[in-house]
Every structure is written in structure tokens, then in C-alpha cells.
Amino acid sequence: MQPDVGICGGIGEGAFVAELAALRGRACVPHAWGGAVLIAATLQLLAVTPEPTEVEGSYGGLLEWDVFENPMRTELLAEPLGVRDGRVAIPSGPALGIEVDESAVRALDRLATGG
């Protein structure tokens, strides 16, 4: 299963999909091809999905990581998410655990709109 929290209804619905997958003995690797906010939400989903050892044949704890240039992933946050030794830390602050850099939002908006 590959729930995308931006499409399936959020973290709660993604967790429901992951639980259903676990009940059927199926792997769950959330889909998160996009910006930093979507990735942060997906990391929170991974924090509440069943442990890999609880599901036979599970890949457990895997996250699809976009390696292409993407300013919405790399420039949007005050403290960017990143891969270190093949792992991504789950943000621990309030809500999604991230802080959006508002000046980066304005700069990306100007870039997108040509203004």
C-alpha cells in the first residue's frame, strides 16, 4: 500500500490505510513525492504506523524520497528536512514538527508567478 496523506484524507486516514495493510499482512510504504510540508506529514504518518517487525514481509518505515531539484522541498522550511545515513528524522516540534520560512514562501511565490 502507498497512501499519500495529501490525497487519502490526511495522517489519520493514512494511518487507517496502514493499519488495514498490516491486518492483511501487506507492506505499507507511504507515497510522498512533493514538498516539505507533505513530507513532514508523511513522516508523522510513519511515526504511527505498525512496527516493521509486526507485519510479516513488511518493508517497514520506508519513505519515498525525491532526489530531483525541488525548491518546495529544500527551501520552504526554516530547518530543511534531509537524509543522513539513509534516514530522515521525524520532526518533533508542535503540529507537523516543522516551521515554514515565510520569506521563502514569498520568494517561491514570486518565482512561480513571475512577480
Which residues participate in catalysis according to the annotation? 31
Residue 111 region by backbone torsions, left for phi larger than 0, else alpha for psi between -120 and 50, else beta: alpha
Kindly tell me the burial class for residue 63, based on how many C-beta atoms sit within 10 Å of its own C-beta (0-12, 13-18, 19 or more).
Answer: middle
Helix 11-23 to helix 36-48 angle (10° resolution) is: 40
Query: Hey, what amino acid is at 34?
Result: G
